[in-house]
A = this chain, B = another copy of it.
Amino acid sequence: MNHRINLARLKGDIEELGRIGRDPAGGVTRPSFSQADLEARAWLKGKIEEAELAYRLDGAGNMFGRIDGQGKTIMVGSHIDTVVNGGMFDGSAGVLAGLECLRTIKESGLKISRPLELASFTDEEGNLVGDFLGSRAFIGRLNKDLLEKGLTQFGRPLKDVLKRTEFTIETILGAHRTSPEIETYLELHIEQGPVLETEDIPIGIVSGIAGKHYRWCSFLGTVSHAGTTPLELRQDAFLGLADFALKSTQHVARNYYGSMVTVGKVHVMPGTFSIVPGQADFSFEFRSQAKETLEALERELFALAKDIASTRGLTFVSKIIDETEPVSIPPRLTDLLKAESEKLGYPYMLLPSGAGHDAQILAEKADVAMIFIPSPDGVSHSPQEAVRWEDLEKGANLLLQALIRLAE
């Protein structure tokens, strides 16, 4: 018998949840532990109970709905928090597709031997103190100092924000003690990029989650008068940055296809007409699926920066802001997803995930796999974030088949 999710029911859930935290700018603003998030949590709890899943909440506010069984748990999840003025699909599509799958399995009367659990992780978006608070708490990888001293993106200490909840820094740090052993974690997510849409393919099977390297960098030169300093006598810090941004992009595009490099934030000083910049500060990041590539990029790109500085009479300095390692997806899971896509008749492609997801955190304790569905125009973290419902249906059906295979 071919089991299929109920798109109308899933679509209804996504639209209902998407109305909670609707902001005046037409987006969804639902950071974890905001009033809107507390309302969304109550709604999700109701949905889990209505589906007759065993509801559980851990000390970090992670929410679960379980179908019990024997052995290690097969988990499906994502998050329902959003960025400020975000959309209604990033995270929510994965949680509600997971809910729909468990509901479908429950209703089907299928014999499932392994425990199946839905998870909705707290603060994936990092509005509190750092990304992935909930999934980090779930695996017991949180820094006590950060929780005690860190300020939320709204400038308040975490413990003040927790006052409106039943959680404390202690319950968050202890949350992992109630986590079941997870064998496999599956997550469906919108792609947040343009590849599937460009290739016109409804299903992306994630081949690996990129590791990343973030630095805050500066070229230092000499401030001089833009009217009186000949071009050949300048030590223009901004031209150093311009040269580095172009050459580092060319280097990655030519030699490390699929890896990413980005200058996202720029601050030039003194920053006015008539003055040649003496300092250019900028964010510099690169990402790759392979540890060796990340290491090669670190060597080659910063050697390039120093070369450019030396050629232009500048100084290059940098400090590391964040580093994460790439996550590989076990072939047994990509093979399973490929086989099930073929059985369903869904076109698919393998593609890397450049963005971070809760799956990346869970990978320390479990095998993980991810299914992407296309993001129209590649947009996410925006009120314009969207899905095509037929793509979501395909993604959720593939998720359902994979869960059934894994839990039988």
Contact = CB atoms under 8 A, between A and B. Distances in A.
Contacts of A230: 193-195, 258, 260
Interface string A206-248: 0000101010000000011111111111001011011101100
A114 B33 CA distance: 83
A193 B296 CA distance: 42
B378 A225 contact: yes
B271 A225 contact: no
Interface residues of A, number: 62
Given A214-B273, A242-B246, A224 B193 contact: yes
A203 to B, nearest CB: 16
Contact of A283 (B227, B272, B280): B272
A12 interface: no
B192 A225 contact: yes
Interface string A272-305: 1111110010010101000000000000000000
A229 B193 contact: yes
Contacts of A140: none
A308 to B, nearest CB: 11
Given A233-B194, A238-B266, A245-B239, A228 B378 contact: yes
A226 B262 contact: yes
A123 interface: no
A268 interface: yes
A373 interface: no
Interface stretch (A67-75, A91-99, A351-359): A351-359
A365 to B, nearest CB: 23
Contacts of A268: 264-266
A252 interface: yes
Contact of A264 (B246, B252, B277, B321): B277
A263 interface: yes
A40 interface: no
A306 interface: no
A249 interface: yes
A265 B260 contact: no
A244 to B, nearest CB: 8
A337 B111 CA distance: 102
A247 to B, nearest CB: 10
A266 B233 CA distance: 22
A283 B378 CA distance: 31
B265 A271 contact: yes
Nearest to A250: B231
Nearest to A275: B264
A273 B264 contact: yes
Name, among A264, A276, A283, A321, the residue most crowded by chain B CB atoms within 10 Å (CB to CB): A264
A253 interface: yes
Contact of A198 (B233, B238, B280): B233
A356 B276 contact: no
A380 interface: yes
A371 interface: no
Contacts of A265: 268, 271-273
Interface string A171-211: 00000000000000000000111110010000000000010
A194 B229 contact: yes
A378 B235 CA distance: 12
B260 A354 contact: no
A139 interface: no
18 contacts: A191-B228, A192-B227, A194-B230, A226-B260, A226-B354, A227-B287, A228-B354, A228-B355, A229-B260, A231-B249, A231-B252, A238-B264, A242-B242, A242-B245, A242-B263, A264-B268, A265-B273, A266-B277
Question: Which 9 residue pairs of A and B lie closest in terms of their CB atoms, listed nearest first?
Answer: A193-B228, A227-B354, A242-B242, A226-B262, A227-B355, A228-B354, A266-B268, A242-B245, A192-B228
